Chains A and B, each alone.
Chain A
Amino acid sequence: MSALETAAQLAAPAVSIRNLRRTFTLKGVLNGVDLDIAPGEFVALLGRSGSGKSTLLRALAGLDYEAVGSGAYQVPERTSVIFQDARLLPWLDILGNVTLGLGRAARDSARATLAEVGLAGREHAWPHELSGGEQQRVALARALVRAPELLLADEPFGALDALTRGRMHDLLRRLSDLHDPAVLLVTHDIDEAITLADRIVMLEDGRIATDIRVDLPAEPEPRAHRTLALRAALLARLGPTPA
């Protein structure tokens, strides 16, 4: 914990958001969000439906050109986004989707990244030939091959079944340790947030209301205790109605 915090204080934050406001959006409003994310830090953003999670993420991704608002934020130039749907272009094969916009020079690193997500040998398959989990792994490869300093993920596992989701958690954790981007993961799944994140923040009334370090101990028993305590605390904050 202290190591991480020192690192965060020494290095300039990867993401810095100051008093961000978004009104008249379709989904949720932001009412003055302040948030810093250190380089390499994995942050999960929780909140009820309509709390503005996606609005915040879309703002950081530069996709809120229709929103009205104010405030400032700073994100690295190399920012990758993973959407809830894999969003693969159906007319490009897997390799073409991963290297989209990068040119032929990126083909080798794309093959390597596809191997990392367990899709070696499927480079020339069409997207519709892949399962939902495989398609989302292609989306992950497409994000990682760009060596992002920030990875924005908007409920990337929401459409997957529980078993596939568990495997994707392991994969994302492993690859984010390996490539070490800062991650902002939007989710409504408390367990997902605890499993994956270094830090959990929660949006309430358009503001960051909760900011907790996860710090799961390595030993199984204290780990289970900490997980339970965190879940109880977060559930209480999310309120009686499940998100």
Chain B
Amino acid sequence: MAALPVSAPAPAPPPARSPTSRPVNRVAGRPAARNRFLAPRSVRGGLLLGPALLLLYWSVLSVNGWLDPRVLPAPWTALDAAIELIRDGQLERHLAVSAGRALAGLALGAVAGVVLALLSGLSELGGYVIDGLVQMKRGVPILALIPFMVLWLGIGEGMKISVIALAVFFPMYIQVHTALRAIDIRYVELAETLRLSHAAFLLRIVLPGALPGLLTGLRFGTTAAWLALVVVEQLNATSGIGYMVTLARDYAQTDVMLVGLVVYALLGFGSDLLVRALERHALRWRRSFGR
């Protein structure tokens, strides 16, 4: 390295910036508003945008007469029908029956799914016995089982709730089982060194670790429950939304059929919102991409 001159005659001008260097412009005092890679922040009620657009489209088609009311009645016709059904108490009655079936099936299927996933994930024998069966069953659609369910359980409420429970069980089991397998081995080591009891291990490490999967399973399971409900309610039912729709079809009441459809959609949408709210609360410890 050259020695520095002791008394320089004049300070040299700063070297000119190389022409190839391109400065990055950042406005001082204004931090980047957000990370470019994060998912967009959610806006309250933003999920309603899609349904609202669909409703608008449907209304426009109906007003212009482009939509034959015999094919699909206008939204306000359906609304009138709904008001009429509520006034004479039919809708509430059918809704209560349907919701009861769905909830009973959901509860049964969810509990069975979690318990069997725990048994299969935490014990070797359970893993061989249960998981093999479940994986085999995955190839058979639930709806293909209905004839057998009718044969075994008859056509009463027991069969209906069992079909719904079965439809909920599989997504629940598969999600929880996958989540269990993904629990970090480091946490298992930690449990070992802290000499956790089996109960504490299950309660503090296994269940919270599998919770994201459990909630995903619950979302899929809820959807599956409504789907199974629609099918079983058209089998020899005497009450429920599905029965109402089947009856309306026999009398060619498209507006009532439409009300049934909208009720199913609202139930599905509403329950998904509910599960998502539950998810946000239960997983608030997590920093994640989706937020």
A interface residues (Cβ-Cβ under 8 A, vs B): 61-63, 79-81, 83, 85, 87, 89-92, 100-101, 126-128, 142, 146
Contact = CB atoms under 8 A, between A and B. Distances in A.
Given A83-B186, A128-B287, A89 B205 contact: yes
B204 A81 contact: no
B197 A101 contact: yes
B199 to A, nearest CB: 10
B75 interface: no
Nearest to B191: A101
Identify whether the interface residues of A are mostly helix, strand, loop, or mixed: loop
Given A101-B197, A128-B285, A128-B287, A89 B187 contact: yes
A85 B184 CA distance: 13
Interface residues of B, number: 20
Contacts of B211: 91
Identify whether the interface residues of B are mostly helix, strand, loop, or mixed: helix
Chain A to chain B: the 7 pairs with minimum beta-carbon distance, closest first? A81-B193, A91-B208, A101-B196, A91-B285, A101-B194, A101-B200, A126-B285
Interface string B262-279: 000000000000000000
B25 to A, nearest CB: 31
Contacts of A61: 192-193
Interface in B239-291: 285-287
Contacts of A126: 285
B189 interface: yes
B200 A89 contact: no
Interface in B143-199: 186-187, 189-197
Contacts of A63: 189, 192-193
A89 B208 contact: yes
B286 A90 contact: yes
B91 to A, nearest CB: 42
A144 B186 CA distance: 20
B186 A85 contact: yes
Contact of B285 (A80, A81, A90, A142): A90
28 contacts: A61-B192, A61-B193, A62-B192, A63-B189, A63-B193, A81-B193, A83-B186, A85-B186, A87-B186, A87-B189, A89-B187, A89-B190, A89-B204, A89-B208, A91-B208, A91-B211, A91-B286, A92-B204, A92-B208, A100-B196, A100-B200, A100-B204, A101-B191, A101-B196, A101-B204, A128-B285, A128-B287, A142-B194
Contacts of B193: 61-63, 79-81
A126 to B, nearest CB: 5
Given A89-B205, A101-B191, A101-B200, 9 more contacts: A61-B193, A63-B189, A83-B189, A89-B187, A89-B204, A90-B286, A92-B204, A101-B195, A101-B197
